Structure 1
Amino acid sequence: MASITSLGAGSGIFSADLVEQLVNAERKPAEIRLDQRQQAAQSKISAFGALRSALEGLRSPMEKLSSPEGLRAFTASSSNEAVTGVSIDQSVVSRGSYSLDVTQLAQAQSLASVEFADRDTTEVGTGTLSLNVGGVNTDVVIDGSNNTLEGVASAINDANAGVSAGIVDTGTGYRLVLSSDESGTANAIQVTVSGDGDGSDTDTNGLSRFAFDGTTSNLTETVQAKDAMLEVNGIAVTRSSNTVEGVVDGVTFDLKSLGTSSVTVDRDPDAVAGRVQEFVDKFNALQDVIKRHSGFNAETGKGGVLSGDSTIRGIQSDLRSLLTTIPAGLEDSPVRMLADVGIKTDPSTGKLEFDQAVFKEQLAAEPAAVTALFAEKDGVEGVAARTLDRLDDFLAGDGVLSNRTDGLNETLGRIDDQREQLDLRIQSYRDRLVSQFSAADSLIAQLNSTGDYISQQLAAIAPKSE
């Protein structure tokens, strides 16, 4: 077969450029159709991705509002933060007022040894230190490898006995300081010595210089272990920590200094309204996405890539139905629909409008009914609970969005296959053209040669002029 570069050598008529023009004319319509189908599929995949993101955004506030806790919110305050701070557990706290009188703060015990000349040279003795904190006993062995002040401190810290050891430079010497990790009298430190290398476990020589067990007090108590003591509404309370829990359900008092303070826990309607506002905002954002990808643009005169798509229409219809109908079981409730709590639909845009004042008023007057409207309670699913279930269906791995996206990806795969088939067909077409043009070129060359020969013969036999 002749190469495409030799075309026209015999006739001057057929050329490689002509072949490429014919090949491009054959390829271009098919490529345009494939490009259009590919672009349409990719645009739809992108649109469904945006729709999925918007649905996931709506799911978050719906999940919060689908449980009764989502319709509960409290705030706590202290009249004297310098004396008492306060924090609450939203899941169990209730309204209440509490008068506090703090008469003693909890503190952790600290003990100090006698003074030593240095921290890492002088031997302090060998044996076993038994540390008892909170009823838990821990043995610390002191031998020739760690019988300095620094060695004892490191051994105690490594033992994790509930005691922290440090060394204080007094200016004239060094003292070992032991501090309980936890405050309160129950966490006071006892140190018993056994196997002291000097033969006595209680004297003021050798390792027994660190004994402090109620009988032998060779360490000095520099800070006494104390419990926190306070009165809550006139009731005496004692705790080992300044973080006082369990006195009132869901309320933690943070004691800071001695004195009095009043703590108030009340409902926080603004916080609940904020959660509902988040739902409204996310729903409206979803409507924007739906409109952008399926609505009609009057300026361009074109619809979105999902215009007329049954999937997006079905999702929009399902959500609107869930948000505008009375949940089963709430027919006789004083609060039956979102409109009853200030959430209405703008008929011109399909978006929600939220009147927070109406919502707060209903929440104060009918807290149980408002909770039932949104959340799942006593076997009855409210608006948020039902919508959450439907959103999970939409977003599931085998849900409508995944199915549509999978189908579009399969379409892209088929388009790739068709491009390969087109390449093969066009190559075959090019080969045929080259073959046909080569044959025609050869024939024309032969005809030209024959014509030249005949012309020569005729010229030879023609009479010559005298």
Structure 2
Amino acid sequence: MAYDLLTTSGINSFINSYIQTEKSKRITPLKTRQTKYNNLSSAYSSLLSNIDKLKSSLSKLKLRDSSSIFKAKKAESSNSNFVAATAGSGADEGTFTIRTNQLAKSDTLLSIDRSYSANSAITTLGTYTFTVKTGDGSGSFYLSKVSVTLEESDFSNGNISYSVLADKIKNAIKDDKAIITSNSVSGYLASSGSFKLNLGGTETEITYSEGTYDEVIDNIVTQLNNISGVQAEKITVNGNVQLKITAVNSSKYIQLKDDTGTILSQLGVSSNKEIAASSVITASTFSPVVGSTQLSLTSKNTGYNYRIMEISDDTTNGLLNEFGLNLGPTRQAFVQNENGEDTAGFVHNESSLNAKFLFNGIEVQRDSNTISDLVSGVTLNLKSVFNTNDPDVVISVGTDVSSIKSKIESFINSFNELYSYLRKNSSSSSSQRGVLFGDSTTSSLTNILSTSAYQSLSGFSNDVINSLSKLGITFDVNNGLSISDSSQLESIILSRTNEVENFFNDTNGFAETLYTKINFYSGASGYIQSAISRISSNLTQINDSVSKIENQINKRAEVLRTQYQKLQTQLAELLSSQNVFTNYLG
């Protein structure tokens, strides 16, 4: 192509043509290599992802002992409307019968029904307290000291209605926290020692030395506040000091015990387990008839060992007394009176609180309808009481074939994803060549997969399961693995569970062997990542070369541009001189 180098546009066209020619000759081959490496790096990254998926499925298959997926058990109920059951891996295989005669219940205490707007006998502002004693589930008990503060706004013309009073009690229980408050003391403690703070079953030793009570309690408060979940403070009133401890988490009890000195007795602190009332009972108000209000207190947990054992006002003429709930340890029955005042009391007698059922004909009781401590590894859920003509429920515990099979199917799927990816990207045809074609690393990985799929395991005799084919799993060179006979696989899992387990998770088993082999290809130091790192290094070099060559081409182009611009200027000067000379001769 001819260029008019006497014009600026001609020079620009010539320089641009030079740049494009040089780039095509020197940079385009590098760009082609760059594209190839990028495609290869992307292919390797996808390959790594597929390897990791296969490793993940193999990791599950090679778990041993109690973690082995082949230990999976399933519990089946002959009638899950009456009794449902689940089984863990540690459950023993077998069958047993269940017949439920009584479901576990939460202990419930109902107050007297009061007129909604009628005034109670309470006329004094201030803080009222009452104590609730409940079972702790292990044969001992919790104490909950509930404080209810009545303010001026709660009263109308000096009176407080039953509806307002019921709500105050309900909300106080809801907001209650476990608090231990000692007696007020002053003077000097003449003994040293230690005691334990028990927070929800976790014990911490607190030490103290003789000194003034002010100093001793300061030291104790510092130690207690280092315990997560505890707030401690020293309260000073008229020169006397008190220790106050609060459990931050309302679900945890606090207890001070095992004093080797005299500090706890001097402070008047018992060894009872204090817990927030909101953790052990719920309180609600309801209207059995229009215009009335009634309190209901219910244990949060079912069963006799979680019952409401005592409930009492801490002073005479307390708030509970207004609703007939100042019962102490008395367990009177609730009686509803349609023509008059109800009798406050318990809805259920103590013998009605536990679940009662027959296990293989033996009478059994539990606090809960969900039972996990009767048969090892099995959880029962009692749902309904049996009628006389209802047959016993049969619970059967055995191998969870579907769970085990699903793990094997997951392995097959991840195996085939990797195998298909390798086949697709390593093949070559007349029209297309895979990005991994001719790659020795992927070729060896493909060979590992195909060999493991059809070969027998070394060290396993022929009279046991030693290959995938003996499980009914076949290998096709084009498509990978498949289950040729699903029912055969299920039958083998059920009847030869130990053999299936040994085949997969033995130290020389299929899962461990294949995992070890493909593990060399994955990870930060694996073959594939090393190849990606080499490609990354090559790409860096190519990018550097492209930048360097582009700079060279651009610099050379500017040199050429300057040279031709000078020639253009010189030629213009010659033409100008020629015109002057011609005019002179003319």
TM-score range, shorter chain: 0.7 to 0.9
Cα deviation, 1:275-334, whole Å, max 9, x if unaligned, reads 222212221121111122221134x1x321111112212322333444445445434762
CA contact (8 A) 2:90 2:377 kept: yes
**Alignment equivalent of 1:273, drawn from 400, 405, 409:** 405
In 2, the alpha carbon distance for the partners of 1:257 and 1:361 equals 35
**Map of 1:3 onto structure 2:** none
**Map of 2:173 onto structure 1:** 156
**Alignment equivalent of 1:402, drawn from 517, 521, 529:** 529
Could you tell me the TM-score, scaled by structure 2's length? Answer: 0.68
- The alignment partner of 2:80 has SS state of coil
- Bigger mean CA deviation after superposition, 394-403 or 132-141: 394-403
Q: Which amino acid aligns with 2:30?
A: L
Cα deviation, 1:150-203, whole Å, max 9, x if unaligned, reads 1111111222420000001122411111000000011111343344253xx7x9
Superposition pairs of residues 205-220 of structure 1, within 5 angstroms: 205-206=321-322, 209-215=324-330, 219-220=344-345
**Alignment equivalent of 1:176, drawn from 295, 305, 309:** 295
Q: Which amino acid aligns with 2:50?
A: A
Instruction: Determine whether 1:50 maps to 2:46.
Output: yes
In 2, the alpha carbon distance for the partners of 1:394 and 1:78 equals 47
**Alignment equivalent of 1:115, drawn from 109, 113, 116:** 113
**Map of 1:221 onto structure 2:** 346
- The alignment partner of 2:410 has SS state of helix
Could you tell me the TM-score, scaled by structure 1's length? Answer: 0.85
Structure 2 alignment gaps of length 5 or more: 136-140, 155-163, 177-275, 333-342, 387-391
**Map of 1:102 onto structure 2:** 100
Deviation at 1:452, TM superposition (A): 5.6
Cα deviation, 1:72-127, whole Å, max 9, x if unaligned, reads 443332222221111221x1123221111111111011101122333898575853
Distance verdict in 2 for CA 1:204–1:397, change over 3 Å: closer
CA contact (8 A) 1:322 1:387 kept: yes
CA contact (8 A) 1:54 1:282 kept: yes
CA contact (8 A) 1:165 1:176 kept: yes
Size of the alignment, in residue pairs? 441
Cα-Cα RMSD: 3.0
In 2, the alpha carbon distance for the partners of 1:64 and 1:367 equals 16
In 1, the alpha carbon distance for the partners of 2:515 and 2:545 equals 41
Q: Which amino acid aligns with 2:286?
A: V
Deviation at 1:445, TM superposition (A): 3.6
Q: Which amino acid aligns with 2:404?
A: V
Instruction: Determine whether 1:370 maps to 2:500.
Output: yes
Structure 1 alignment gaps of length 5 or more: 1-5, 461-466
Deviation at 1:49, TM superposition (A): 2.0
Cα deviation, 1:410-457, whole Å, max 9, x if unaligned, reads 333333322321231122111111122123323434554566677678
Q: Percent identity?
A: 21
Superposition pairs of residues 426-437 of structure 1, within 5 angstroms: 426-437=553-564
In 1, the alpha carbon distance for the partners of 2:446 and 2:320 equals 85
In 1, the alpha carbon distance for the partners of 2:132 and 2:77 equals 40
Instruction: Determine whether 1:185 maps to 2:311.
Output: no
- The alignment partner of 1:381 has SS state of coil
Distance verdict in 2 for CA 1:420–1:143, change over 3 Å: same
In 1, the alpha carbon distance for the partners of 2:316 and 2:544 equals 88
In 1, the alpha carbon distance for the partners of 2:110 and 2:27 equals 89
CA contact (8 A) 1:184 1:239 kept: yes
In 1, the alpha carbon distance for the partners of 2:321 and 2:87 equals 52
Deviation at 1:266, TM superposition (A): 2.9
In 2, the alpha carbon distance for the partners of 1:43 and 1:7 equals 44
Distance verdict in 2 for CA 1:287–1:119, change over 3 Å: farther
Distance verdict in 2 for CA 1:278–1:114, change over 3 Å: same
